[in-house]
């Protein structure tokens, strides 16, 4: 089982992750893309990264807006290092789009 991180450690890590926040024990990021196709393409890329890491985010799509929520179910739905690792990978994806 992954160990949940303390709030201070999470907030410190988020300082280097643009646009991410910590709400209701989850990491949250909302991305506005060019259009619906761009949102779907982005979701596909996130899915590939998540599958490689075997860690799957909650993804909500509303036209061109994608909302991502990350937590670790095996840690009681809290944030672990796995979530930060996935957030960093998604952040790199965002900086390339």
Q: For 18-73, how does the pLDDT look when each residue is reduced to its tens digit (9 = 90+)?
A: 999 999 999 999 999 999 999 999 999 999 999 999 999 999 999 999 999 999 99
pLDDT of residue 27: 98
Residue 97 has pLDDT above 70, yes or no: no
Assess if residue 41 is contained within a domain: yes
Number of domains in the chain: 1
Q: Where residue 35 sits, what CATH number does that domain have?
A: 3.30.1360.20
Span 9-18, pLDDT tens digits = 999 999 999 9
Neighbours of 79 (CB within 10 A): 25
pLDDT at position 55 is: 95
According to DSSP, residue 74 is labeled: G
What distance in Å separates the CA atoms of residue 58 and residue 70, rounded to the nearest whole number? 6
Whole-structure pTM value = 0.94
Per the structure, the complete domain to which residue 65 belongs is given by: 7-96
């Amino acid at each position: 089982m992954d160990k949940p991180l303390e709030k201070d450690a999470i907030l410190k890590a988020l300082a280097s992750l643009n646009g991410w926040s910590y709400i209701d024990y989850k990491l949250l990021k909302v991305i506005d893309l060019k259009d619906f196709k761009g949102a779907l393409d982005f979701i596909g890329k996130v899915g590939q990264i998540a599958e490689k890491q075997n860690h799957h985010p909650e993804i909500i799509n509303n036209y061109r807006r994608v909302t991502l929520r990350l937590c670790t179910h095996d840690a009681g739905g809290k944030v672990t290092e796995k979530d930060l690792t996935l957030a960093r990978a998604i952040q790199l994806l965002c900086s390339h789009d």
